[in-house]
């Protein structure tokens, strides 16, 4: 059989060309897949880097329910929380309902004391002193704000240190600032083993970091805001966990550069979406304490809730970040319950 040399050459060229086109297509497909995979790996954002405060708080409530059950069986005592509400502010009434619901969930007895807005300061202080002496009450919370004719600090100072589950009594604050957040005689960290109450929201911030696997020791932390309720106590807690802490505030020069250094950012400044994504060090952990309302015509209520950081921007840069709502908020109530349970245990142990 005779072969046409030109025909053979043409067949070889066509075969080679087809193979090259196939290889190019496969290479392009592989490159595309690798590129897409690289995009996925380098940006596990929005969902995967969200710290779910609702889930963590639910876990803590479950743990507390077990502790309350064991305490009731072993010590014969049930923790009791008294919540004092003055006036008819809808937001305050909502918060009180949430706290009572959480109490019922974990087995803590709740005592609701409601006063009209016209109540005198003397009447309110007298009720607090009555609750101080009530052995069934292990924690007292006066819902703030109070009407302008009442000095809030006078009322808060009237709550006994042992029952000040908000952690705002001067002696509890002094204990915190006296580096006593380590259990007596121990080097390990334990909110359960200390003998005083730590403010709920700052305690919740630390708990979120711990339960999200964030190492605090040796890290640089920036706290934005210097309030007595959040900024200062959370800065103290971070410092006592061996972080290097900077408190930024309204007089801080070049606050963007200050925040840029931080491995951990706690925003508690009370300004909607104040912290921008460009301010963050890539991979920083962000705890957003703020809760602000901004106009939003697409919402039925005409507004939406946002934090002190620009979540859309910051979630693209941060390794972990708390949303608003659903971040720090649920933890505040969980820590209130934990303070009440711990207070009950301490009171019961001291009287046995």
Helix 200-211 vs helix 328-351: angle between axes, to the nearest 10 degrees? 110
Q: What is the DSSP string of 292-315?
A: EEEE-TTSTTSEEEE-SB-HHHHT
Residue whose C-alpha is closest to residue 163's, from 55, 229, 104, 83: 83
Beta-ladder partners of 68: none
Residue 290, exposed/middle/buried by CB under 10 A (0-12, 13-18, 19+)? Answer: buried
* Active-site position among 52, 67, 127, 143: 143
* Active-site position among 99, 163, 219, 281: 99
Active site residue 99: yes
Residue 239, exposed/middle/buried by CB under 10 A (0-12, 13-18, 19+)? Answer: middle
- How many of the other CB atoms lie within 10 Å of CB of 246? 16
Active site residue 175: no
Residue whose C-alpha is closest to residue 117's, from 91, 138, 87, 97: 87
Beta-ladder partners of 113: 84
The DSSP bridge pattern shows strands 80-86 and 292-295 to be: unpaired
* Active-site position among 166, 263, 288, 308: 166
Residue whose C-alpha is closest to residue 160's, from 7, 352, 350: 350
Active site residue 254: no
User: Rounded to an integer, what distance in angstroms lies between the CA atom of residue 348 and that of residue 192?
Assistant: 15
The residues assigned a catalytic role are 99, 143, 166
């Amino acid at each position: 059989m005779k072969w046409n040399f030109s025909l053979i050459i043409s067949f070889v060229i066509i075969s080679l060309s087809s193979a090259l086109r196939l290889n190019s297509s496969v290479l392009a497909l592989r490159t595309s897949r690798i590129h897409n995979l690289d995009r996925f790996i380098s940006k596990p954002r929005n969902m995967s880097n969200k710290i779910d405060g609702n889930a963590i708080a639910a876990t803590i409530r479950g743990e507390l329910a077990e502790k309350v059950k064991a305490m009731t069986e072993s010590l014969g005592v049930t923790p009791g929380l008294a919540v004092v509400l003055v006036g008819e502010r809808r937001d305050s009434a909502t918060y009180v309902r949430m706290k009572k619901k959480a109490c019922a969930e974990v087995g803590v007895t709740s005592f609701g004391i409601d006063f009209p807005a016209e109540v005198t300061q003397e009447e309110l202080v007298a009720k607090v002193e009555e609750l101080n002496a009530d052995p069934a009450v292990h924690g007292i919370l006066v819902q703030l704000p109070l009407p302008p004719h009442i000095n809030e600090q006078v009322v808060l100072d009237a709550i006994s240190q042992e029952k000040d589950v908000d952690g705002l009594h001067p002696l509890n604050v002094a204990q915190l600032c006296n580096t006593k957040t380590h259990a007596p005689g121990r080097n390990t960290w334990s909110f359960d083993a200390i003998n005083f109450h730590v403010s709920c929201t700052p305690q919740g911030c630390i708990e979120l970091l711990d339960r999200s696997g964030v190492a605090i020791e040796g890290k640089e932390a920036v706290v934005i805001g210097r309030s007595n309720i959040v900024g200062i106590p959370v800065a103290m807690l971070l410092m006592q966990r061996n972080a290097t802490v900077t408190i930024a505030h309204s007089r801080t020069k070049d606050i963007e550069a200050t925040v840029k250094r931080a491995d951990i950012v706690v925003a508690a400044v009370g300004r909607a979406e104040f912290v921008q994504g460009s301010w963050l060090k890539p991979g920083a952990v962000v705890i957003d304490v703020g809760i602000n309302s901004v106009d939003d015509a697409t919402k039925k209520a005409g507004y939406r809730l946002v934090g002190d950081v620009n979540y859309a921007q910051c979630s693209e840069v941060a390794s972990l970040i708390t949303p608003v709502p659903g971040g720090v908020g649920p933890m505040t109530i969980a820590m209130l319950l934990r303070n009440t349970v711990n207070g009950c245990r301490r009171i019961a142990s001291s009287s046995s």
